[in-house]
């Protein structure tokens, strides 16, 4: 047998173990969800080709350890029968993580599962200077921890108030974590300070009369990273409402990293080296022209 190309195997989801010619196979799991039928196949592979157990990773993934080098091709074939495939590793976009979002969670503001699938379809395994992690969380409770990702997306609400429907009960003021609402029951008045709003949607969800309504959107965080050094992602763009605008911003972010990033340099380090101001300027340009579909994002980043 010739020399084993561990680097290429890692790229396709087979990560070298300390045991000779053994690999922990990482599966491609989108938004933390696979079907019950697919789990049966994972069980079968772990029993037949592994050591009868799996490892759940910190990013909602599944790894099957102790896959032997000579079994890799047949394991790939077995995965394919269940619509599964090994996950990406190395310097590229990794699997997208997501909480359960509005489809399951009472606090959810956006459909995280559907968005994760769309992100995976658009960006999965895209080559970049270093690994790049995307995560989607459904609300301000932040179960998925959007700020820990190279690019994190958090559901948000832009609230509006309809005086005619309001009884001035004060419940919205009581639940508002940003202290953006002030209700005077005696005067029958309400003041909403938009600058203090954190887009959590609690006013809308708590109002018994529907006086508060909200438009759901996306808050984007840039440059989060864990590992050797922990750095929190930053949010500097307004609430984004349209998916196409969101995708244009992600396109531009990845193009920024591809243009300015050095090999084995995390996105956060690239931003700090090139300048937060440069990234903010280029992404703000995207927002300004986002309705003009004829504009090529790469032209903006190349300026």
- Is the pLDDT at 144 greater than 90? The verdict is yes
> Mind listing the domains of the chain with CATH numbers?
6-81 (3.30.70.3340), 97-155+217-301 (3.30.413.10), 159-215 (3.30.70.20)
3-class DSSP assignment, residue 133: coil
Tokens of 258: 């591809």
- Contact yes or no for 245/289 (Cβ under 8 A): no
Residue 202: per-residue pLDDT: 96
Question: Is the pLDDT confidence value at 302 over 60?
Answer: no
pLDDT at 172: 97
pLDDT in tens, 154-207: 999 999 999 999 999 999 999 999 999 999 999 999 999 999 999 999 999 999
> What radius of gyration, in Å, describes the C-alpha atoms of the chain?
23
Cβ atoms 55, 65 nearer than 8 A = yes
Does residue 57 have a pLDDT over 50? yes
- Decide if pLDDT at 130 tops 60: yes
Residue-wise pLDDT for 268-296, tens only, equals 999 999 999 999 999 999 888 765 554 55
pLDDT of 292: 58
pLDDT of residue 296: 53
Q: Residue 170 region, left (φ>0) first, then alpha (ψ -120 to 50), else beta?
A: left
pLDDT at residue 260, rounded to an integer: 98
Residue 75 Ramachandran class (φ > 0 left, ψ -120 to 50 alpha, else beta): alpha
What CA–CA distance (Å, rounded) separates 158 from 90? Answer: 38
Asked if residue 228 has pLDDT above 90, the reply is no
Interval 131-139 mean pLDDT: 97
- Asked whether residue 16 carries a pLDDT value surpassing 90, the answer given is yes
Give the pLDDT mean for 46-50.
98
Average predicted confidence (pLDDT) for the chain:
93
Mean pLDDT value of segment 104-120: 97
With 60 as the cut, is the pLDDT of residue 301 above it? Answer: no
pLDDT surpassing 60 at residue 97: yes
Report DSSP letters for 66-89, one per residue. Answer: EEEGGGHHHHHHHHHHTT--BPP-
Segment (H or E) for 287: helix 276-289
Where residue 2 falls among pLDDT bands split at 50, 70, 90? low
Write the CB contacts of 155 (distance below 8 Å, at least 6 apart in sequence).
101, 102, 108, 109, 110, 112, 137, 138, 139, 216, 217, 218, 219
Q: Identify the band that residue 303 occupies on the pLDDT scale cut at 50, 70 and 90.
A: low
Question: Which of 128, 147, 115 lies closest to 267 in space, CA to CA?
Answer: 128
């Amino acid at each position: 047998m010739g020399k084993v190309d561990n680097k290429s195997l890692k790229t396709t989801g087979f990560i070298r173990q300390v045991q000779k010619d053994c690999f922990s196979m990482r599966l491609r799991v989108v938004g933390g969800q696979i079907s019950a039928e697919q789990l049966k196949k994972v069980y079968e592979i772990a029993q037949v080709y592994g050591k009868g157990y799996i490892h759940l990773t910190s990013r909602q993934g599944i790894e099957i350890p102790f896959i032997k080098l000579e079994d890799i091709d047949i394991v790939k074939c077995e995965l394919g029968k269940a619509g599964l495939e090994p996950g990406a590793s190395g310097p590229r976009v990794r699997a997208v993580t997501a909480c359960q979002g509005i489809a399951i969670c009472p606090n959810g503001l956006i459909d995280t599962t559907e968005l994760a699938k769309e992100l995976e379809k658009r960006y999965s395994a895209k080559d970049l200077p270093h690994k790049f992690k995307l995560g989607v969380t459904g609300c301000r409770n932040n179960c998925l921890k959007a700020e820990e990702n190279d690019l994190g997306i958090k559901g948000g609400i832009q609230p509006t108030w309809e005086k005619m429907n309001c009884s001035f009960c004060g419940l919205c003021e009581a639940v508002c974590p940003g202290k953006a609402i002030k209700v005077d029951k005696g005067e029958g008045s309400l003041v909403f300070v938009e600058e203090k709003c954190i887009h959590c949607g609690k006013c809308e969800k708590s109002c018994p009369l529907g006086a508060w309504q909200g438009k759901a959107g996306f808050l984007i965080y840039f440059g989060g990273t864990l590992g050797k050094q922990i750095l929190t992602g930053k949010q500097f763009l307004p609430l984004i409402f349209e998916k196409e605008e969101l995708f244009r911003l992600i396109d531009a972010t990845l193009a920024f990293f591809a243009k300015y990033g050095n090999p084995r340099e995390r996105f956060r380090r690239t931003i700090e080296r090139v300048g937060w101001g440069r990234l903010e300027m280029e992404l703000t340009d995207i927002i300004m022209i986002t309705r003009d579909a004829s504009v090529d994002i790469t032209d903006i980043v190349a300026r």
